[in-house]
Chains A and B, each alone.
Chain A
Amino acid sequence: MALIRVTSPHAHGSNKTANIMQWVLLSTLPGLSALTIFFGWGVLINVVFASLLAVLAEATVLKLRKKPIGFYLQDYSAVVTAVLLALSLPPFAPWWVTTVAVLFSIVIAKHLYGGLGSNPFNPAMVGYALVLISFPVAMTTHWATPSTLQEGPGFFATVGYIFLGQDIGVDGFTMATPLDVYKHQIAIATIEEVTSDPVFGNFVARGWEWVNLGFLLGGLVLIGRKIISWHIPVSLLSALCVCSLLLGWDEDQYTPLSIHLLSGATMLGAFFIATDPVSAATSHQGKLVYGAGIGITLYVIRTWGSYPDAVAFAVLLMNFAVPFIDYYTRPRTYGHTSAQRGIRRADPP
């Protein structure tokens, strides 16, 4: 064997992209469990179905792109996209909604832009936004009333409903989410009347609070493992809090902060969606701006827009702004008096 000639460094740490993705998947478990417990088997079925579909789509595109399939599938990125997408979809969303969303995420939003690392937009949110806009009825009428696994439809009944459309007689299918209910009812009812709605339960928002706490827990694990930095979640949630306290302090008119934080996709968005490193801002300072931008957009759309939740739109809108943010938030390099801002031509030699 000849002496190999490679450039330094020769040592390498133990970090692996696949490990990062696996940790992200593991960290979704508390939230996923809560979703399954309160909203039935549909969530779990969606997650598994979306993952299989995503791997299949990824393999097909890789084959078309003449890339080594095994090597690229090992990075788990397709599964992460699919899981995050499935966690956002309504639990009883029919199979074709999931299929369209996953295929669009993987094929269009990810691979047509160059595959992992090259997509300017968060693929899961692109898929979600597509089906939300295209199939509004299917997307808003498949949220079940939060219940327990025993009370809700059984596993096989759920499979039958999702894939075959078999009626399982769940009356809660037309049930709106707490954000939706509060936003639309508060104009015509008092706080007491609104919060007596079953979706709110006894605490903040029945089931949702546990789902969000679950994702919060998973997010803290990710921060602890240094897989994500604290900047985006903290600035996102802070911006949401500030907006809510400054602009929507009147609970007679606006959704209160507690519901903003602990219902809908807030925590999933803050810790898992917005922190997708590929489509997020680069520097720490940039991440603060990016996160705050999402928080503000999220609040604005939730309060004055036509959608009750807006994580997908907020994230996608800020994805647009990332190159701009990046140019203006470069860190100061060692030995430089100040950070460079904006696009500046390099000094002539």
Chain B
Amino acid sequence: MRKLWDFHGGIHPPENKHQSTQSSIRSIALPDTLVLPLNQHIGAAADPCVRVGDTVLKGQMIATAVGRISVAVHAPTSGTIAAIEEHPVPHPSGMSDNCIVLRSDGEDRWMELTFCADYKQLSAAEILSRVRQAGIAGMGGAGFPTEVKLHPPSNDKVNSLILNGAECEPYITADDLLMQERAKQIVKGMEIMAYVLEPEETLIGIEDNKPKAIAAMREAAANTRIEVIVVPTKYPSGGEKQLIRILTGREVPQGSIPADIGIMCQNVATAAAVYRAIRFGEPLISRITTVVGESVPRPGNYEVLLGTAMSFLLQQAGLPLAQDATAAAPVDITSHPRPNQGHCPAVTRLIMGGPMMGFTLPNASLPVIKTTNCLLAATPDEFPGPATEQACIRCGMCADVCPAELLPQQLFWYAKAEEFDKTEMYNLFDCIECGACSYVCPSHIPLVQYYRFAKDQIRAARIEQRKSDLSRARFEYRQQRLDREQQEKAAKRKARAESAAKAQAAKAASDQPEQAETTTMATTAKAGAGGAESKQYIIEAAVERAQQKHLQVEAESSKPPALEARDPEGPQNHEESRNLDELLDRVTKTKAKLEKLQDSLATSLATNGDQSNSPATEKLSNAVEKNKIRLAAAEQALAAAQATAPSTQQSKPA
């Protein structure tokens, strides 16, 4: 007997599972139209690879995965692409998103599939790629791409692979029925996952309120390394972190993923989908959805093609709805007269998911997607409207049931007062929004709603903060640039005045380097005082120094040579007046300066990382470019000079 641990808190809401476990998994008629959102998972939306009017076969890929975290979308039946357009999708916000609309031809013809009798002939990489191509995303509710999850960071070795069959939410029985009827598929899917991950132990956690599923899974897992573990029924034992705690006694550290502690959780339905994808080459085009609620005459579990309109599914379950509630024409089911409704109580709340964490839908025209594990058409008797919120009396019942061991009453207090820094101090972001606190609150406070509000506000504030930081940096840089330009102008003016004075006094040019040196030193001193921003100052000082030197070189070689350097056509005129050594010296100097600048550019790039377009770096790279040009000019001048005076002893610069 394996030792089980307990997680903090938890509740025992009425299970309400019996309504949908009376019959086996049923299939429904083929709908005329399927609406397939391009983003049914967490990550980047898939990219359509078909055009309107194309004919597709069942199982054919119609949208490809884009980027690392993404999965493909496939045609759930054969037919033609009717449209690629915006359509309302099941999402808590009620938003619309890009969807492919598929008109079924009624033939349901499969494409040619790649069978694989023995997955062990495939490499792990090949299996992962097939899982990705099959469009499999976590089917427990979150919809994280399975291939990405099965491919943890290279330094994470998965020791425990856990299949989550807890299904702790009331009403939902999709995984229960799947385990009862397709236990073999789940076990084989898990073996494939284990082949990829090579874990030390493979566990399946099932709540003890599903005796039939437990028996079926035990039978299927006999003679395998897979261990079926019965866990006590307590919501939310099916939460990833909670199930890990129950089975292994370990906690996923804050800000980490389970793979970081060598554990991976997958849903049982995901495992079955992986099996079908590898064994038969079938992509994910259907799922089992629990249809339940007092208003549904034939509650139960239905095998539904992805993209099927929920209204169609509800109709198939016996709920009388308007006939034309098709996907292409979004219709509010409640806005239609339903004369034959008779014995059916009115639906007032349509929930995707369970009563604890599911979200309400605005109408039934939305499509079933990869994460639709339950459709709950509830009457006011089942879920009466929210009661009026009373004052929090800090009774602490919420803290007693919180599986994240937070203090919900304090979080509520600060969220309501909009003291968001305090909510973060009380670890708001560790809240998993399971709803246990709201469930037990005697004052009927919608606590989770307050936490969502606070989280949103904090996220929005962070985005704002980032924006304003950026514009402040931009402003400060502009200010610095303007100041520096002023200084440069002043320095130039000074230099000009001095050279004029020198010309007048006909003195030696040796005075000027000193002058330049003094200015540079002053700049360096300022950089030292800069504190945190000293790096930027140093870079600027380097740029300035380079410019000073440039000025100096210009001043040194006086006007004609400077002109010459820019215009290498005419060196011959003045070759007599210039020493070759001097030219050579200039080339070496410029080269050294260029190298130095390039070095500091490289360090700046390395340290600034993603902010490679920061103003300081930009300035540096500009300086590098300028110096390159300058070097080229100097080299040319030297070459020209050497050509005209080949007798000189100097070798070519290295």
Tell me the A residues contacting B by CB distance below 8 Å. 1-13, 15-17, 19-20, 71, 75, 77, 115-118, 226-227, 229, 277-278, 280, 282-283, 326, 330-337, 340, 343-347, 349
Query: In the complex, A4→B350 CA distance in Å?
Result: 8
Contact B251 A5 (CB under 8 A): no
Which A residues lie within 8 Å of B350 (CB)?
3
Contact B392 A334 (CB under 8 A): no
User: What is the distance, in angstroms, from B356's C-beta to the closest C-beta of chain A?
Assistant: 5
Q: Which of B131-139, B205-213, B419-427 contacts A (4 or more CB under 8 A)?
A: B419-427
> Which of B92, B241, B349, B403 has a CB less than 8 Å from the CB of A10?
B349
Contact B378 A10 (CB under 8 A): yes
**Does B43 interact with chain A (Cβ within 8 Å)?**
no
Which B residues lie within 8 Å of A349 (CB)?
462, 465
Contact A117 B356 (CB under 8 A): no
- Please give me the residue from chain B that is nearest to A9 by CB atom: B435
Query: In the complex, A10→B353 CA distance in Å?
Result: 11
Contact A12 B406 (CB under 8 A): no
Contact B254 A11 (CB under 8 A): no
Contact B391 A118 (CB under 8 A): yes
Within 8 A of A (CB), among B315-335: 332-335
> Which of B251, B391, B421 has a CB less than 8 Å from the CB of A115?
B391
> Which of B334, B390, B405 has a CB less than 8 Å from the CB of A332?
B405
Query: In the complex, A12→B440 CA distance in Å?
Result: 7
Contact A117 B360 (CB under 8 A): no
Which A residues lie within 8 Å of B383 (CB)?
10-11
Q: Which of B106-114, B445-453, B492-500, B598-606 contacts A (4 or more CB under 8 A)?
A: B445-453
Interface string of B384-406 (1 = CB under 8 A from A): 01111011111111011001111
Contact B253 A3 (CB under 8 A): no
Query: In the complex, A20→B396 CA distance in Å?
Result: 12
Q: Known: A9-B357, A71-B388. Contact between A2 and B334, CB under 8 A? A: yes
Contact B407 A331 (CB under 8 A): yes
Query: In the complex, A268→B347 CA distance in Å?
Result: 50
Contact A12 B361 (CB under 8 A): no
Contact B392 A117 (CB under 8 A): yes
A sample of 13 more A-B contacts (CB under 8 A), given A3-B362, A10-B351, A20-B395, is A1-B348, A9-B439, A13-B11, A20-B393, A71-B388, A116-B391, A277-B395, A282-B394, A282-B399, A331-B405, A334-B7, A334-B404, A335-B251
Closest 4 CB pairs of A and B: A9-B435, A346-B424, A117-B391, A15-B442
Name 5 A/B residue pairs within 8 A (Cβ), A-sorted.
A17-B393, A116-B393, A117-B391, A335-B252, A336-B430
> Which of B170, B386, B406 has a CB less than 8 Å from the CB of A6?
B386
Which A residues lie within 8 Å of B356 (CB)?
8-11
Query: In the complex, A132→B347 CA distance in Å?
Result: 59
Q: Specify which of B346, B395, B422, B441 lies most central, judged by the most chain A CB atoms within 10 Å of its CB.
A: B395
Q: Known: A2-B332, A20-B395, A277-B394. Contact between A7 and B449, CB under 8 A? A: yes
Which A residues lie within 8 Å of B452 (CB)?
7
Which A residues lie within 8 Å of B376 (CB)?
10
Contact B13 A13 (CB under 8 A): yes
Contact A9 B438 (CB under 8 A): yes
**Does B528 interact with chain A (Cβ within 8 Å)?**
no
Contact B394 A4 (CB under 8 A): no
Query: In the complex, A238→B253 CA distance in Å?
Result: 36
Which A residues lie within 8 Å of B332 (CB)?
2-3
Query: In the complex, A277→B13 CA distance in Å?
Result: 25
Contact A345 B440 (CB under 8 A): no
User: What is the distance, in angstroms, from B317's C-beta to the closest C-beta of chain A?
Assistant: 17
Contact B425 A346 (CB under 8 A): yes
- Please give me the residue from chain A that is nearest to B245 by CB atom: A334
Contact B397 A15 (CB under 8 A): yes
User: What is the distance, in angstroms, from B388's C-beta to the closest C-beta of chain A?
Assistant: 7
Query: In the complex, A89→B57 CA distance in Å?
Result: 85
Which B residues lie within 8 Å of A71 (CB)?
388
- Please give me the residue from chain A that is nearest to B92 by CB atom: A7
Which B residues lie within 8 Å of A333 (CB)?
254, 404-406, 427, 430
User: What is the distance, in angstroms, from B298's C-beta to the closest C-beta of chain A?
Assistant: 21
Contact B421 A346 (CB under 8 A): yes
Q: Known: A3-B348, A229-B396. Contact between A17 and B407, CB under 8 A? A: no
Which B residues lie within 8 Å of A17 (CB)?
390-391, 393, 442-443
Q: Known: A2-B334, A344-B425, A349-B465. Contact between A335 and B399, CB under 8 A? A: no
Contact B427 A336 (CB under 8 A): yes
Contact B421 A278 (CB under 8 A): no
Interface string of B256-296 (1 = CB under 8 A from A): 10000000000000000000000000000000000000000
Contact A15 B396 (CB under 8 A): no
Which A residues lie within 8 Å of B363 (CB)?
3
Which A residues lie within 8 Å of B570 (CB)?
none
Interface string of B366-384 (1 = CB under 8 A from A): 0000000000101000010
Query: In the complex, A7→B352 CA distance in Å?
Result: 11
- Please give me the residue from chain A that is nearest to B422 by CB atom: A346
Q: Known: A278-B394, A333-B404. Contact between A345 and B421, CB under 8 A? A: yes
User: What is the distance, in angstroms, from A325's C-beta to the closest C-beta of chain B?
Assistant: 12
Query: In the complex, A17→B362 CA distance in Å?
Result: 32
Query: In the complex, A3→B295 CA distance in Å?
Result: 13
Which A residues lie within 8 Å of B347 (CB)?
3
Q: Known: A17-B393, A333-B430, A334-B251. Contact between A11 and B410, CB under 8 A? A: no
Query: In the complex, A332→B253 CA distance in Å?
Result: 12
Query: In the complex, A11→B424 CA distance in Å?
Result: 27
Contact B395 A1 (CB under 8 A): no
**Does B145 interact with chain A (Cβ within 8 Å)?**
no
User: What is the distance, in angstroms, from A261's C-beta to the closest C-beta of chain B?
Assistant: 26
User: What is the distance, in angstroms, from A71's C-beta to the closest C-beta of chain B?
Assistant: 7
Which B residues lie within 8 Å of A229 (CB)?
396, 400
Which B residues lie within 8 Å of A334 (CB)?
7-8, 241, 245, 251, 403-405, 430
Contact A8 B358 (CB under 8 A): yes
Query: In the complex, A334→B246 CA distance in Å?
Result: 13
- Please give me the residue from chain B that is nearest to A346 by CB atom: B424
Which B residues lie within 8 Å of A330 (CB)?
407, 426
> Which of B357, B399, B406, B425 has a CB less than 8 Å from the CB of A8?
B357
Which A residues lie within 8 Å of B348 (CB)?
1, 3-4
User: What is the distance, in angstroms, from A8's C-beta to the closest C-beta of chain B?
Assistant: 5
Contact A5 B362 (CB under 8 A): yes
Which B residues lie within 8 Å of A347 (CB)?
424
User: What is the distance, in angstroms, from B565's C-beta to the closest C-beta of chain A?
Assistant: 50
- Please give me the residue from chain B that is nearest to A11 by CB atom: B355
